[in-house]
Amino acid sequence: MSDRSHGDGPDRQPTRVTLFLFATGIENSDPTIQNGRIRRDEMEECGHYDQWQRDFELLGDLNIRFLRYGPPLYKAFLGQGRYDWEFTDLTFAWLKQRDVIPIVDLCHFGVPDWIGDFQNPEFPELFAEYARAFAHRFPWVQFYTPVNEMFICAQFSAAFGWWNEQLTSDRAFVTALKHMAKANVLAMYAILEERPDAIFIQSESTEYFHADTPKAIKSAEFYNARRFLSLDLNYGYPVNSHMHEYLLDNGMTREEYHFFLDNTLRHHCIMGNDFYHSNEHRVDAGGGILPAGEVFGYDEITRQYHDRYGLPVMHTETNFDQGHVGNEAVDWLWKQWANVLRVRNNRVPIVGFTWYSLTDQIDWDVALREKRGKVNPRGLYDLDRNIRPVGLAFKKLLSQWREVLPTKSVCLFVPVMFPSEYDEPVAARRREGWRRYLRHELKSKPELRT
Check whether 238 has a pLDDT greater than 90: yes
Task: Give the pLDDT confidence score for residue 421 in this predicted structure.
Answer: 93
Q: What is the pLDDT of residues 53-75, one digit of tens each?
A: 999 999 999 999 999 999 999 99
Q: Is the peptide bond before 357 cis (omega within 30 degrees of 0)?
A: yes
Q: Which domains does the chain possess?
A: 21-449 (3.20.20.80)
Distance CA 329, CA 397 (A): 14
pLDDT over 70, % of the chain: 93
Query: Which secondary-structure segment (H or E) carries 144?
Result: strand 143-147
- The predicted structure's pLDDT at residue 19: 73
Instruction: Using pLDDT thresholds of 50, 70 and 90, give the confidence band for residue 441.
Output: confident
In the three-class reduction of DSSP (H, G, I as helix; E, B as strand; rest coil), residue 64 is classed as coil
- DSSP assignment of 387-398: BPHHHHHHHHHH
On the question of pLDDT at 181 being above 60, the answer is yes
Q: Compute the 3-state secondary structure of the chain and give helix, strand, coil in percent, each to the nearest 5.
A: 45, 15, 40
- With cut-offs at 50, 70 and 90, classify the pLDDT of residue 32: very high
Q: What is the mean pLDDT of residues 196-205?
A: 97
CA-to-CA distance for 373 and 368, rounded, in angstroms? 10
Query: Global pTM?
Result: 0.94
What's the mean pLDDT in 116-135? 98
pLDDT tens-digit series, residues 301-311: 999 999 999 99
Least confident of 4-18, 224-238, 274-288, 436-450: 4-18
